[in-house]
C-alpha cells in the first residue's frame, strides 16, 4: 500500500487465511467423502472404534479453528496498519529527524547530525551517491558529543549535484590512531509521502524512505 502527497492509495495481495479457508473447504468435502467411504466399506468384524471416529473429527475441527483464529488476527493487523497509515499521513509536510545514514537531499541541501562517544584526534565525513561513489568528503569535528552538519549538495569540485538519496559515513580516530566505535548519525528531511512495504509503514523523504519507528523528532519546516 502506498499513499502519496495527494492521499491516493493502492493495495494488492490475498491473505493467507483466505487461501487457507478456500483450501479447507475443498479438503472438508474430500474428508467427508473419505470418511463416508471408510464407514461404508469397513470390516463388519472390525468396525471403526467410536473414539477413532471422534478423534478424526476433532483433528479436522482443530485445523478449521486455527484458520479462523488466523483470519481474526489478520483483521486486527489490517486495522492496526490502517491506523498507523492514517497517523503517518499527518507527517506529510513536516520535518522529521530519523536514525540512520541515508541522507535525503532536498532543494539542493541535506542536514544531519553525528555523535562522537569520545574526543577524537581526527574525524572525516564522507557522502556517497546511490552507486556508492564518494562525491564529497571533509574533516569533521573532534570533540565528544553531538555535531550538526549541513551539506550544500555540491561535490568536492564544487558542482551542484541533483536532489536524491545519499549515504553519509562518519569515521574518527582516537589519539592512538585507533578507529572509534559507536559513532551514531541522524538525518533530517521534509516528509513528502507515506508507503507500506511488507507491512512496515515508511515515510518518504524525497527519494529516501524511513521506517516510522526510526523517527526520533518531528517539527515544522
Q: 95-104 burial, b for 16+ CB within 10 Å, e for fewer?
A: bbbbebbbbb
SS3 206: coil
Q: List Cα–Cα distances, 205 to 25, 71, 105, 200, 210, in angstroms.
A: 46, 34, 9, 16, 7
Judged against a pLDDT cut of 60, whether residue 11 lies above it is answered with no
Judged against a pLDDT cut of 50, whether residue 158 lies above it is answered with yes
Domain residue limits, the chain: 12-89, 95-219
Q: For 65-101, write each residue's pLDDT tens digit.
A: 776 677 766 666 556 666 777 788 888 999 999 999 9
The architecture of the domain spanning 95-219 is: Sandwich (2.60)
Q: Evaluate if pTM is beyond 0.85.
A: no
Amino acid at each position: 500500500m502506498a499513499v502519496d502527497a495527494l492521499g491516493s492509495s493502492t493495495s494488492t495481495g490475498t491473505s493467507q487465511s483466505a487461501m487457507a479457508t478456500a483450501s479447507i473447504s475443498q479438503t472438508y468435502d474430500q474428508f467427508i467423502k473419505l470418511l463416508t467411504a471408510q464407514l461404508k466399506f469397513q470390516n463388519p468384524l472390525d468396525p471403526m472404534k467410536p473414539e477413532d471416529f471422534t478423534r478424526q473429527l476433532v483433528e479436522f475441527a482443530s485445523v478449521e479453528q486455527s484458520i479462523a483464529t488466523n483470519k481474526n488476527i489478520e483483521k486486527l493487523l489490517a486495522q492496526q496498519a490502517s491506523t498507523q497509515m492514517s497517523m503517518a499521513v499527518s507527517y506529510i509536510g513536516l520535518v522529521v529527524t530519523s536514525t540512520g545514514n541515508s541522507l535525503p537531499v532536498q532543494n539542493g541541501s541535506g542536514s544531519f547530525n553525528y555523535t562522537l562517544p569520545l574526543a577524537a584526534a581526527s574525524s572525516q565525513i564522507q557522502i556517497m551517491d546511490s552507486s556508492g561513489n564518494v562525491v564529497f568528503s571533509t574533516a569533521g569535528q573532534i570533540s565528544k558529543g553531538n555535531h550538526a552538519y549541513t551539506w550544500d549538495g555540491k561535490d568536492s569540485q564544487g558542482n551542484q549535484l541533483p536532489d536524491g538519496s545519499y549515504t553519509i559515513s562518519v569515521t574518527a580516530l582516537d589519539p592512538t590512531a585507533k578507529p572509534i566505535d559507536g559513532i551514531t548519525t541522524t538525518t533530517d528531511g521534509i516528509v513528502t509521502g507515506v508507503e507500506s512495504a511488507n507491512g512496515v509503514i515508511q515515510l518518504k523523504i524525497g527519494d529516501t524512505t524511513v521506517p516510522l519507528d526510526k523517527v526520533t523528532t518531528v517539527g515544522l519546516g
